[in-house]
Copies of this chain bind each other. A is one copy, B any other.
Amino acid sequence: MSKVFASLGMSLDGFIAGPGARPGNPLGDGGTRIHEWVYDVETWRARQNVEGGRAEQDDDVVRENFDRSGAYVMGRRMFAEGEVGWPDPPPFRAPVFVLTHTPREPWVRQGGTTFAFVTDGIHSALDQARKAAAGKDVQISGGAETVRQFIEAGLLDELQIHLAPLVLGAGVRLFDGVSPALGLEPARVVASPRVTHLTYLLTAPRA
């Protein structure tokens, strides 16, 4: 059975974006610090159509995540940001299902990425993504609100946190509003000098 997973960068004090996150500045003030480790990683750069970069542990983690993802589910706001920012071909190279309230024809882009727009909720988006993934895993791309919806609905199997060694002090917290009953089981840790990659399996809620 294919898995449903999310992969998010987080500061040591729990933020996935800085303060003042808004259209045009989706990571908020200082929020790019959370992702600094990835920008010079080889696989990440290749997916941005840029050569070179670091290999090693961080690259392994990024490559594994791209390789295992047969389809993506994405929130409307994240799509709106990426729509104007992603290069051509975009980094996904697989079907992407965008949660929205506004019907729109699929948008076929180069390199295997097709954006399909889903107006009937997360269960429908996940069903469509699972079929499109054809046995591979489904990645919930974000943003945080979308990932939280999948957690709350019990639809997420695995949560990957790339824990950045920094304090952000303010911004958007990943776990705001998530129930303390959430069951998390440490499954894997990959450590590098720049970031700690933590993988948790989501289990039945604690009684």
| Total copies of the chain | 2
CB of A189 within 8 A of CB of B191, answer: yes
User: How many residues belonging to A are interface residues under a CB distance threshold of 8 Å?
Assistant: 31
Q: Knowing A168-B180, A169-B178 touch, does A198 contact B200 (C-beta < 8 A)? A: no
Q: CB-CB < 8 A to A13: which residues of B?
A: 14, 173-175, 178
A145 to chain B, nearest CB (A): 16
Chain A at the B interface: mostly helix, strand, loop or mixed?
loop
CB of B30 within 8 A of CB of A180, answer: yes
Which A residues from 170 to 207 make CB contacts under 8 A with B?
A: 173-175, 178-180, 182, 184-186, 188-189, 191-196, 198, 200
Residues of A within 8 A of B (CB): 12-14, 30, 161, 163, 165-169, 173-175, 178-180, 182, 184-186, 188-189, 191-196, 198, 200
